[in-house]
Amino acid sequence: MKTTKIYILALAFIASIGITSCEAVKNTNNTQKGVGIGAAGGAVIGGILGNNLGKGGNTALGAIIGGVVGGTAGGLIGNRMDKQAQKIDEALPGAEVERVGEGIKITLGENSVNFDLNKATLTSTAKANLDKLVPVFNEYPDTNIQIFGYTDSSGSDEYNLNLSNQRAASVKSYLGGKGIKSARIEAKGMGEADPIADNTTKDGMAKNRRVEFAITANEKMVQDAQKEAKQ
């Protein structure tokens, strides 16, 4: 996958504080990655990572890292996520697809998922691009989908937060209308939080106006992987 990144998490405890280090490495075996995470502390340390990186899971990255299973089961989940990430990348080449831990982070810029000015109405381009993701999401029903909406820094904090909430909800509603079970989907507006570019430039502001997805294993996938790991 030309845009896919695979993340390895290296964990270390210093004194009484658990500090994590996260390094992006391409083309790494994800079964080995999952086993490594498990050996370092599995879901417990995954929760620590989620709190540090994602403010308790309130970002796509935090949501993924916070749900780490670890061990052989985590490696099996990682392999399944590899396949889904590959298909997402093929279906929507304009998306930034990142394999993170045992999940997938998708970033869709405003050229992929955009809205009418100052509104939460999806444009025809946005709908067409979301349509490309629907078959992949339906092919992997044992995953949860968390949607995070972002704005640039123009406007008040309250306005941006409300607008991003409405836009994330619009994406959720649209996917639900395409047959994806609503129980799988959560939506959250982040306003102007967590900018990925400079808000003092037009280009940077455009990059910050984005939608991110966190794709993680649901309970069934976790249980299936744990059973398989014991065989």
Contact between residue 68 and residue 32 where contact means Cβ atoms under 8 Å apart: no
13 confidence band (pLDDT: 50, 70, 90): very low
Residue 20 has pLDDT above 70, yes or no: no
Contact between residue 36 and residue 79 where contact means Cβ atoms under 8 Å apart: no
Report pLDDT for 187: 98
Residue 12 has pLDDT above 80, yes or no: no
CB pairs under 8 A, 24+ apart, for 112-117?
112/211, 113/171, 113/210, 113/211, 114/209, 115/167, 115/170
Report pLDDT for 180: 97
The tokens describing 75, both together, are 């490696």
Per-residue model confidence as pLDDT tens digits over 41-88: 444 444 444 444 444 457 999 999 988 999 999 999 999 999 999 999
Name the percent of the chain lying above pLDDT 70. Answer: 75
Per-residue model confidence as pLDDT tens digits over 179-211: 999 999 999 999 999 999 999 999 999 999 999
DSSP conformation class of 182: G
Per-residue model confidence as pLDDT tens digits over 81-133: 999 999 999 999 999 999 999 999 999 999 999 999 889 999 999 999 999 99
Using DSSP's 3-state secondary structure scheme, residue 144 falls into strand
Domains defined along the chain, listed by start: 5-230 (3.30.1330.60)
Q: Sign of torsion, CA 30 35 40 46?
A: positive
Write the CA distances from 23 to 17, 125, 210, integer angstroms.
Answer: 20, 34, 24
1 confidence band (pLDDT: 50, 70, 90): low
